[in-house]
Amino acid sequence: MICFNWKKYDIFIDNRHNASGKDFHNLNIKHICFDLDGTLVKSDKTIYKATLKTLEKLNIKGEIAEDNFIEMIGMHFVDIFKKFDLDVPDFQEFIVIYKILYFDFIDESKVYPGVEDTLSFLKNGEDIKISLLTTKGQDQAEKIIDHFNLGKYFDFIMGRREGIDHKPSAEPLLFICNELEVDAKNTMIVGDTELDIFCGKNAGAISCGVTYGYRTEESLKKNHPDYLVNDFTEIKSLRRE
């Protein structure tokens, strides 16, 4: 059985337990699903620069403040453009060009400290199934994971796929659980935005917010995740009993 060592997170135990009714001293976690941007990879510079360059290529004018843009990372581009009141007539053309230009700026992205060590610990030491769930396209998600040599840690990579809804819908997470033959109640989703938290809640999974990504700790708490971590390595507080 996999259980959390909760001692150094006492500040969160009571609120999280009361909010969800889960007994956090007896979690039986068989599968952890990770978000990509703001969780595994610090990619805001890459995303921002690739977006501006793509809009420039398409001759689409508009002001996109970097700070405001970063706060929206994780949302679908359609929703981001609405927030900035940008008219992108051919969204598919934008995506095609964006995915090509993205890798012109890939060196601006970095894997967060402790990510590879923690993934290795979970995969090899705890025998937990590991998946990725991102709003990026399937092909782009796979390329990014391969670029950072993280593919060996993942049992399943789930990018945006035609006919399957995206976060915060439960559908993509339940799809992953079905593919891995793991119950959602034995799954924890880890991410830095409200989309990840609500995806987990909607699927009946455990939700874990990370406070170092693209949302503030205060905003994450308002969405009542089951668990919060300030550093990716804290995921290693999972232990076998």
Torsion sign (Cα): 174, 178, 179, 183 = positive
User: Hey, which residues are catalytic here?
Assistant: 35
Buried b (16+ CB within 10 A) or exposed e, 98-110: bbebbeebeeebe
Q: How many CB atoms lie within 10 A of CB 67?
A: 8
* DSSP H/E element including 172: helix 171-180
Torsion sign (Cα): 78, 84, 85, 88 = negative
* DSSP conformation class of 22: -
Closest CA to 41 of 177, 192, 157, 160: 192
Listed in order, strand segments (DSSP E) in 70-175 are 110-111, 129-137, 156-160
- What are the helix (H) ranges across 9-104? 10-20, 44-57, 66-70, 77-83, 91-102
Distances (CA, A) of 203 to 25, 176, 237: 21, 11, 24
Tokens coding 49: 């620069």
